[in-house]
Amino acid sequence: MAFFIWVLLAILLLIAIIFVYYFNRFVILSNRIDNSLSQIDVQLKKRADLVPNLIETVKGYAKHEKKIINEVTEARKALLKAKDISSKVKAGDQLQTALKSIFALAENYPNLKANENFLHLQQELSAIEDKIAYARQYYNDAILIYNNSCTTFPGVFFAKIYSKQPKEYLKIAPSEKSVPKIEF
Amino acid sequence: MQQRLSFEDEITKNKIKSFLLIIIIFAFFVLLGYVISFVFDPSYFFFIMVISIIFSLSYVLVSYYYSHNIAIASVGAKPASPIKHRNFFHAVENMVLASGLPMPKLYVMESNEINAFASGRNPRNAVICITTGALNKLNKQELEGVIAHEMSHIANYDIRFMTLTTVLIGMISIISQIFLRNLWFASRDREERENAIFFLIAIIVAILAPIAAQLVSLAISRKREFSADASAVKFTRYSPGLISALQKIKNEHLSPEQTNKEKITYPKALAPLFISDPFKKKIQNLFSTHPPIEERINVLKKM
């Protein structure tokens, strides 16, 4: 009799451990997703912080290019206003496009192009662009792992119990799908 | 061999130093054991061996907890500056974001050749050290590939693995030592020669076991290079970066005049942590820590 009680206890303990394991696994995985989201957020914020500085520098050389300057300012405002991550990322993409036209504009203004401050900001912003891309990649990786454990057996069983749903991937804007260029 | 004499010289110097240290420690223990066994009984030698095991374990533990400091100090690397080594910082920050690992401490060592290594017992205490040559000769994609490879070593706990194998090999040699010693005492005490063949086999095994363990760990180390390459591609999503970095390293290996001037000393124990074998053996063999670069490139090209 005592033997059966021990076996029963062992089985119950095992089941409890499995339940705790899967609960923790889902928590860890969704924390990872949240963390990678905040990484994207940090980079977007950094980019937005650099923009006023850039605008000031550009204004010094190309005052009458109001349209492009306004575009950048608006995109920055939209980014700061955005609440959830998907609208933030979307605003970030818009800002990215607007910044590209600023850097293209600089081709017409040799003095601006040679400005040290401008060059520095350009480098910083392109570095941030890389970081945003990598942070998004990691976010999607984290989502993939989470979704895999939500939808494969036996995770799918526990996902139902803890009512966890697969999460959405971040969509990549068409402009960002281009192949990275290689410098020599 | 002669073209990298100065390079080898430095290594030999380091080897002699550490060898002397081991000899001194060992001599001390043997002396102690001899004195005690002289006073009491030869069986006390056993007791001394146990103490030496404890000692070597604590030695390994210390080197485990300070592995990154030791590694950095032994190549004479300096902390990287965020302004001067901006590219290095950007590449590492990118790979930190791509891998989700904490930011490692960054170091730069003065050397013309392209190389880098990672150290530290876990991702929280990791360091990445790169040569100035790598920073000058590699472009952004290549640098990211190399850093990603090092980050993979950190992520895969390869440093912990290397330490554990060191402990394991150490333990195996100690056990063989004890066995061989006991055998000697045993055969002296009673003059039995009946199972001489068994003794002979046992002696051979005791001698070969540490070597075999070493070979196994090296084989695993080579496998780990492949897996670090694979993870590197997972982080960068761009295998041509690492491929062309490896290509540049390979071309450097083919023209060894540069290393003639090199004065950097690479401790041999660090070799598995480098992106390419810093000792650049011409012949690939069982004792190599890294697989041949061509093979790594071929595997990467298939990804």
Catalytic residue among B113, B142, B144, B150: B150
- Looking at per-residue confidence, does A182 or B294 come out higher? B294
Report d(CA A65, CA A102) in Å as an integer: 9
In this prediction, residue A9 carries a pLDDT of 94
In this prediction, residue B5 carries a pLDDT of 30
Report d(CA B75, CA B78) in Å as an integer: 9
User: For residue B95, which residues of chain A lie inside 8 Å, CB to CB?
Assistant: 134
Three-state SS for B79?
strand
Residue B38 scores a pLDDT above 70 = no
- Residues A113-158: pLDDT tens digits? 888 888 888 888 888 988 988 998 889 888 888 888 888 888 888 8
In this prediction, residue B160 carries a pLDDT of 67
Three-state SS for A106?
helix
In this prediction, residue B165 carries a pLDDT of 64
Residue of A nearest to B137 (CA): A184
In this prediction, residue A182 carries a pLDDT of 53
In this prediction, residue A181 carries a pLDDT of 53
Mean pLDDT (chain A, rounded):
84
- Angstroms from A131 CA to nearest CA on chain B: 5
Residue A177 scores a pLDDT above 60 = no
Residue B147 scores a pLDDT above 70 = yes
Q: Answer whether A176's CB lies under 8 Å from A133's CB.
A: yes
In this prediction, residue B107 carries a pLDDT of 93
Judge: B97–A135 Cβ closer than 8 Å, yes or no. yes
Residue of A nearest to B93 (CA): A131
- Residues B253-297: pLDDT tens digits? 765 544 444 444 555 556 666 777 766 554 555 667 777 888 888
User: Would strands B127-131 and B116-119 be described as parallel, antiparallel, or unpaired?
Assistant: antiparallel
Query: Other CB atoms closer than 10 Å to residue B254's CB: what's the count?
Result: 7
- Angstroms from B77 CA to nearest CA on chain A: 26
Average pLDDT over residues B18-33: 54
In this prediction, residue A20 carries a pLDDT of 92
Three-state SS for B107?
strand
In this prediction, residue B254 carries a pLDDT of 64
Three-state SS for B257?
coil
Residue A89 scores a pLDDT above 80 = yes
Give me B186's structure tokens.
């045993």
In this prediction, residue A73 carries a pLDDT of 87
In this prediction, residue A2 carries a pLDDT of 83
Give residue B24's pLDDT band: very low, low, confident or very high (50, 70, 90). Answer: low
In this prediction, residue B1 carries a pLDDT of 28
- The model's pTM: 0.74
Mean pLDDT (chain B, rounded):
71
Residue B76 gets which letter from DSSP? Answer: T
Active-site residue, B10 included = no
Contact residues, chain B to chain A, C-beta under 8 Å: 90, 93-95, 97-100, 139-141, 237-238, 240
Three-state SS for B115?
coil
- Residues A12-41: pLDDT tens digits? 999 999 999 889 888 988 898 888 888 888
In this prediction, residue A154 carries a pLDDT of 84
Judge: A183–B139 Cβ closer than 8 Å, yes or no. yes
- Angstroms from A8 CA to nearest CA on chain B: 38
- Residues A37-56: pLDDT tens digits? 888 888 888 888 888 888 88
Average pLDDT over residues B47-56: 67
User: For residue B94, which residues of chain A lie inside 8 Å, CB to CB?
Assistant: 130-131, 134
Give me B58's structure tokens.
């604590």
User: For residue B139, which residues of chain A lie inside 8 Å, CB to CB?
Assistant: 182-184
Residue of B nearest to A125 (CA): B90
In this prediction, residue B71 carries a pLDDT of 75
Contact residues, chain A to chain B, C-beta under 8 Å: 32, 35-36, 39, 43, 127, 130-131, 134-135, 137-138, 141-142, 180, 182-184
The full set of domains in chain A, from first to last, is 2-173 (1.20.1440.20)
Average pLDDT over residues B230-252: 87
- Angstroms from B62 CA to nearest CA on chain A: 32
Judge: A137–B139 Cβ closer than 8 Å, yes or no. no
Average pLDDT over residues B211-219: 73
Give residue A64's pLDDT band: very low, low, confident or very high (50, 70, 90). Answer: confident
Judge: B90–A130 Cβ closer than 8 Å, yes or no. yes
Q: Residue B123: which H helix or E strand, with range? A: none
User: For residue A43, which residues of chain B lie inside 8 Å, CB to CB?
Assistant: 97
Of A32, A134, A142, the CB nearest to B94: A134
- Looking at per-residue confidence, does A10 or B43 come out higher? A10
- Residues A93-107: pLDDT tens digits? 888 888 888 888 888
- Looking at per-residue confidence, does A62 or B141 come out higher? B141
- Angstroms from B273 CA to nearest CA on chain A: 25
Query: Other CB atoms closer than 10 Å to residue B127's CB: what's the count?
Result: 22
Residue B12 scores a pLDDT above 70 = no
Residue B36 scores a pLDDT above 60 = no
Judge: B141–A137 Cβ closer than 8 Å, yes or no. no
Give residue B105's pLDDT band: very low, low, confident or very high (50, 70, 90). Answer: very high
